[in-house]
Amino acid sequence: MSNKVEKDEFSGTDTTGHEWDGIKELDTPMPRWWLWTMYASIIWAIGYWIVMPAWPLISSHTAGFLGYSSRGSLEQELADATAAHAEDRNALVTMELSAVKNNSQLYQFALRGGKSAFAVNCSQCHGSGAQGAPGFPNLNDDDWLWGGDVDAIYETIKYGIRSDHDDTRIGEMPAFLTDEMLTKEQINDVAEYVLSLSAEREDTAAVDRGQEVFMENCASCHGDKAKGGRDFGAPNLTDAIWFYGKDKDIILRTISRGRNNVMPAWVDRLDDATIRQLALYVHSLGGGE
Amino acid sequence: MANSSVENIDVRPVNKKENRALFKKREKIQPKKARGNFRRLKWIIMGVTLAIYYITPWIRWDRGDSGPDQAVLIDLARERFYFFFIELWPQEVYYITGLLILAAISLFLVTSLFGRAWCGYSCPQTVWTDLFIFVERMIEGDRNARLRLDKAPMSVSKLVKRIAKHSIWIIIGVLTGGAWIFYFADAPTLLRDLFTFEAPIIAYSSVAVLTATTYVFGGLMREQVCTYMCPWPRIQGAMVDEDTLTVTYHSGRGEPRGPHKKGEPWTDRGHCIDCNQCVAVCPMGIDIRDGLQLECITCALCIDACNDVMDKVDLPRGLIGYDTHAGQFDSNPERKLDIRFIRSRTIAYGLILALVGAVMLFTLLNRSVLDVNVIRDRNPLFVTLSDGSIRNGYTVKILNKIHETRQFQIEVEGLKNAQAWIESGPPVGLPMIVTVPADALSSYKLFISAPAENLPSKTLDIDVVVTDFKSNERDIQETSFKGPEK
């Protein structure tokens, strides 16, 4: 092939010298604007390396002069969002909780914030709909262990139950069998009595014996009529709601080995405005007193 | 010159087949001014359409305290569309769909009857381009003067003319974009805010964008918008048939064309003297004598130009005129138009138009001013209360679409011994009474509880009935009440 560049006679464009079955490839140049766009992109890329995070290093990466990071930008956005609500949040912490409801705009703000905080912090145990699970109370119903008005709910969330905080709510369900306070037979009688409070039982003799045992050992917390006691978080044993379940086996286990589960204190993890939002949200679920 | 009274113009249509090339540059069109009935009609339509566009946002309409007093307003922030006595909420956007269907079918109907009458007379692109050409002619003169100016070297007077022309174009663009934004906010307030720099950024940017598009489309791109950007020229072929009345060159009468000297006989030749006036006045730069073509917007200015020429050579008018496709081969100058307006196509369009229009009118007249939605809680599905009864939660949304505060009664049907309350609080029993502010949506959390023994099965169908105290307007929403497995 000669060194002279062949020109296509129809278009007047140079050919590349490639030929297939008589068809020659034209050496049509790229459009100018396209070429310049590519050069501009190269220059842009070099500038980008300098100012933005770009090259991976062994244990980190080049940070770039602008110091940008996606994590930092997220943190900034979250801080901005909190700052944007500063007025409402301040109003919330300075106001009586029971009075928030009268301020419709602030109340809606609290409910929405509470719903979102609940999903992040509480739903793992209480469920996404606050419907609870055995051992984790349903927050929708009207049965409250420690009180269902908004201030009581606020205190429960803030300090927790049997948590490691000094102001925690505390109460103990003893292990009557493990600690040898009652015999197996007595425990069976008490379980029969507890069940008889909400349903007919066949073994009335056991129920009568159980009532005596109950008065001596249980009534101090659960009350003479087994209606429960909020000072100790003792459940009402006469209603239709069962904390752990209404099967006799479960009740026997509760009496024999005790129950002392924990709700953490949130005062050190969440700010006061968020705890107040949570209290108002839980209170609004339908069972609030 | 062949005929002393008629100027023969050296102009070539831009879309001649021989000139076509894939990468051909645009040939600038400098349309000559036309005089005649159609030109007059177009001035009137331009005046009316521009007046409608500029004046509409300033028309006031009293809606009381809870609504704006602007007759036509698209309130994006408050999600309302106001049109005189009509007020639409976002969920009623199907009215807009109906309106668009009506507009489309009307366009089909008009096109099948009169060709692209929309394009030629009332399309904003045509109206504004016409306006821009008018400005151009005022400053730079008619076609010949403009052609000379284009060729002339840059001078002070040319520069002054160019600056003046483009400035006025931009001012028209600003006014166009400026009027547009008044449809989206209270016009007097927005006007004041615009000048005190308190209007939202979006207002200024909308004006800027619409100024740019008006200037570019009306001043610079003109016929290219119609030919290359608009889909309608491609669709017109399907709408036009042999009975459609459209701008037609009567080739049967006009051909063979040729120059004509005054006093020469008209025997053995056509009536077209090939003066090219029809091409010179065409804003699309085409030759109507080539027949109906994609570029033709049927603005009818060539009719005016040709009639003028026919008058001068003492021939009957109408060598170019509105006629059907079939009529173009008729050589009789006194031809009577025989138009079939009633055809299967127009009947079909008419029926669809009437049907959609009737449905729209019916739904609009029977439009409910109360809208209720009941959404039952899904998580949890139900809650057992301490006395053993079952509680379900619902969100009840009541839309009060009138400009008056209204009181509603909420009842639950299909559930025995139901208790109900709103939010938390003591059960208030049923029926319950709520107040919804004027022109607003109110949302209530409704809890309903019933003794477990009143539930015959896992799911019970119930109705939530919302009744307006005053007007007795009722809205019944079917929902369900769920309980545990029996």
Q: Which domains does chain B have, with CATH numbers?
A: 370-482 (2.60.40.10)
Q: HEC profile for A74-126? A: HHHHHHHHHHHCHHHHHHHHHCCHHHHHHCHHHHHHHHHHHHHHHHHHCHHHH
Question: Which one-letter amino acid corresponds to residue A43?
Answer: I
Indicate if the pLDDT at residue B323 is higher than 60. Answer: yes
Q: What is the pLDDT of residues A3-36, one digit of tens each?
A: 678 888 777 778 888 889 988 888 887 888 899 9
| Per-residue model confidence (pLDDT) at position B425 | 54
User: Which CATH number does the domain A81-167+263-283 belong to among 3.40.50.720, 1.10.760.10, 2.70.70.10, 3.10.20.30?
Assistant: 1.10.760.10
Output the pLDDT for position B195: 92
Token pair in block for residue B239: 């709408």
**Rounded Cα distance, B325 and B211, in Å:** 40
**Among residues 263-292 of chain B, which lie with CB inside 8 Å of chain A?**
none
Measured CA to CA in angstroms, residue B381 lies from A111, A286, B146, B340, B425 at distances of: 20, 13, 78, 66, 20
Residue B49: its pLDDT value, please?
95
Q: Is the Cβ pair B383, A240 closer than 8 Å? A: no
Low pLDDT (below 70) residues in chain A: 1-3
For residue B380, give the nearest of A129, A236, A239 by CB distance.
A129
Identify the DSSP state of A51.
H
CB contact set of A269 (below 8 Å; sequence gap of 6+): A121
pLDDT of residue B1: 40
Contacts of B386 in chain A (CB under 8 A): 141-143, 236, 239-241
pLDDT at B242: 85
What residues of A are in contact with residue B449 (Cβ under 8 Å)? none
Q: Which two tokens stand for residue B407?
A: 């009181």
Out of A262-271, B90-99, B296-305, least confident range: B90-99
pLDDT band at B9 (very low <50, low <70, confident <90, very high): confident
**Nearest residue of chain A to residue B388 (CA atoms):** A240
Cα→Cα distances B300→B117, B206, B223, Å: 9, 34, 15
The span from the CA of B320 to the CA of B384, in Å, is 86
Percent of chain B clearing pLDDT 90 (strictly above): 53
Instruction: Determine the Cα angle at B43 with ends B39 and B48, to 5°.
Output: 145
Lookup result for tokens 């953490």: A264
Domain edges within chain A:
1-17+26-73, 81-167+263-283, 184-257
Confidence of residue B462 (pLDDT cuts 50, 70, 90): very high
**Beta-carbon contacts of residue A243 (< 8 Å; ≥ 6 apart):** A134, A135, A137, A145, A235, A259
Q: What is the pLDDT of residue B433?
A: 86
Q: Which residue from B378, B384, B423 is facing A284, i.e. has the nearest CB? A: B423
More confident residue, A240 or B416: A240
Give B217's pLDDT tier (boundaries 50, 70, 90). Answer: very high
- What average pLDDT score do residues B386-393 get? 90
Which pLDDT value is given to residue A97? Answer: 92
The arithmetic mean of pLDDT across residues B65-83, rounded, is 89
Residue B120 predicted with pLDDT over 90: yes
Report the residue of chain B nearest A227, measured CA to CA.
B386
Which run of H or E residues covers position B394?
A: strand B390-400
Q: What is the rounded CA–CA span in Å between residue B319 and residue B328?
A: 9
Find the angle CA(B312)-CA(B328)-CA(B276) to the nearest 5 degrees: 40
What residues of B are in contact with residue A287 (Cβ under 8 Å)? 383, 385, 424
Class of domain A184-257: mainly alpha
**Same fold yes or no, A81-167+263-283 and A184-257:** yes
Give the residue-averaged pLDDT of B254-276. 87
- Name the residue with higher pLDDT: B358 or A288: B358
Q: Give the one of B379, B386, B423 whose C-beta lies nearest to A236's C-beta.
A: B386
Mean pLDDT of B107-114: 92
Distance CA B449, CA B392 (A): 6
CA gap B277, B13 in Å, rounded: 11
Amino acid A9 reads E
Which band of pLDDT confidence, cut at 50, 70 and 90, is reported for residue B2? very low
The pLDDT of B452-472, averaged and rounded, is 88
What residues are paired with A23 via a beta bridge?
A20
Give the separation between CA B124 and CA B78, rounded to whole angstroms.
29
Structure token digits, residue A15 = 């050919």
How distant is the alpha carbon of residue B3 from its chain centre? 46
Which of the given ranges, A252-261, B80-89, B421-430, has the highest pLDDT on average?
A: A252-261
Using alpha carbons only, give the angle B373, B375, B378 rounded to the nearest 5 degrees. Answer: 175
Asked whether the whole model's pTM tops 0.95, one would answer no
* pLDDT given for residue B426 in this prediction: 60
